[in-house]
Amino acid sequence: MTVTVRFAPSPTGRIHIGNARTALFNWLFAMNNKGRFIQRFDDTDIARSKQEYADSILYDLHWLGIFPDVTEYQSRRFDIYDAAVERLKAARVLYACYETPEELDLRRKVRRTRGLPPVYGREALTLTPEQVAEYQADGRRPHWRFLLPNFTSDPLQPERTEVHWNDLVRGEETVDLASLSDPVLVREDGTYLYTLPSVVDDIEMGVSHVIRGDDHVTNTGVQIAIFRALDAEPPVFGHHNLLTTVSGEGLSKRSGALSIESLREDGIEPMAVASLAVLVGTSENVTAAHDLNELAGHFDPAATSKSASKFDPDELFVLNRTLMHHMSFEEARDRLMVLGISGDKAEPLWMAVRGNLDRLSDALAWWQILSDGPQEPAEFSGEDRDFLNQAFDVLPEEPWNGTVWKDWTGKIKEATGRKGKPLFMPLRLALTGRTSGPELSDLLPLMGREGTLARRP
């Protein structure tokens, strides 16, 4: 059987790094198993779902290197869910309930005070036809609950009923169906909650592995029961730990925190995002993978920790710097061109500056420093000014070869007696306006003799 996975966000906001973790876990799992990847939008909540969010999610996935084999929208598949509802009703495992939220709330409170677990007591199953008729006459419409198979013959006498699965990430997992309320699958207004459409689609689309966040572990117990009620074999499940901010808060699509879009706008490379999103909270070291193939080689769902992982955005810059440092000119060329960095000097510039960049676009500042001089010329003491004048006096004549920097500084040493930092720092400041940056031996040839002399303070 072909391994088939799906990434199933609801399109209610921009995806964040935690969603990217789920998408990448699925994508890398498919890569490692020659499988298929379905992009499924869980957009049954018509009011909150938006096409523009679905489009932005696809854009973000493409940016990360994820190209789904197919894209599906649940909002276009209601007929299929309606048919499943009819099947469940016919099997008498979907039943009508008429309680209002306030009534349910009150009942939960009563159960708590009696020391009972606050689960739904299946009171709707005891309604007489007259009571139902009365509710209907009052204009109440039913919501529909799935009858969890947690009893022998009397649903009002639930018994401990364990559902087991071997989780790809967490190993042996157990959920006791008696500890849960019968889930509402269809609301009063006929709209679907996430639970049933997801199972129906996983069956219909041949999903073999469901890899998602561990906030769904309990759902899995319920959904396995629904798979069985629909005569389907449940897929393999894997629940990865969730990412939190450094202060321990969960990430939310709605808040926009750590959205893929904002990271992209900050100049973070897709492979920095992907490497951290996949490797944080696993037993693997977090290093910058060059591409998804390399990352797939480090990916092992079973190596993921069971507790939440803190995600530090600063680590993205560390990975970004590593990626810049190793990025070949061929890889950078087109993007540099878009920044206006082209021509003969583009490659030597890139090779000179790449080891000093936080983000690729920072190359532009160095390009401007080289072509137009320091952006903010430095201030020098009288002593340093004299030193620099002496230094510029001994600048070698052209043509220059690869040793010009060494030759020049040798001559400066001889002429001024300075060495070390007192020699290099004023030169660096005069030439670039900055106290740190790429090797001056690489930058000097790019300035040329004339360009260098133009920097004489």
Task: Give the interface with ligand GLU as residue ranges (CB under 6 A).
Answer: 8-10, 42, 194, 198, 210, 212, 216
Q: How far is the CB of 373 from ligand GLU (least distance, A)?
A: 53
Query: Is the separation of the CB atoms in 3 and 236 below 8 Å?
Result: no
Angstrom CA distances, 148 to 95, 124, 214, stand at: 11, 14, 21
Is residue 310 annotated as involved in ligand binding?
A: no
Q: 173: which residues sit within 8 A by CB, 6+ positions away?
A: 164, 165, 166, 167, 217, 220, 237, 239
Q: 35 or 437, CB closer to ligand GLU?
A: 35
Q: How far is the CB of 320 from ligand GLU (least distance, A)?
A: 28
**Six token digits for residue 238:** 């894997």
**Six token digits for residue 299:** 């990916």
Angstrom CA distances, 96 to 126, 141, 429, stand at: 11, 9, 78
Q: Which residue has the tokens 């919501």?
A: 143
Q: How far is the CB of 86 from ligand GLU (least distance, A)?
A: 23
Q: 157: which residues sit within 8 A by CB, 6+ positions away?
A: 151
Q: How far is the CB of 41 from ligand GLU (least distance, A)?
A: 9
Q: 125 or 236, CB closer to ligand GLU?
A: 236
Q: 31 or 210, CB closer to ligand GLU?
A: 210
Query: Is the separation of the CB atoms in 312 and 279 below 8 Å?
Result: no
Q: 211 or 388, CB closer to ligand GLU?
A: 211
Indicate the SS3 state at residue 348.
helix
Q: How far is the CB of 270 from ligand GLU (least distance, A)?
A: 22
Q: Positive or negative, the Cα torsion across 123, 128, 134, 137? A: positive
- CA–CA separation, 397 vs 299, rounded Å? 55
**Six token digits for residue 332:** 């950078």
Q: 45 or 362, CB closer to ligand GLU?
A: 45
Angle, vertex CA 388, rays to CA 385 and CA 392, nearest 5? 140
Q: How far is the CB of 209 from ligand GLU (least distance, A)?
A: 11
Nearest of 220, 255, 211 to residue 6 by alpha carbon: 211
C-alpha atoms less than 13 angstroms from C-alpha of 407 in its C-beta half-sphere: 13
Q: How far is the CB of 212 from ligand GLU (least distance, A)?
A: 4
Q: How far is the CB of 12 from ligand GLU (least distance, A)?
A: 9
Q: 194 or 405, CB closer to ligand GLU?
A: 194
Q: What is the DSSP string of 95-150?
A: EEE---HHHHHHHHHHHHHTT--S----GGGG--HHHHHHHHHTT---EEEE--S-
Q: 10 or 452, CB closer to ligand GLU?
A: 10
Q: 10 or 39, CB closer to ligand GLU?
A: 10
Binding residue positions for ATP: 253
Binding residue positions: 253
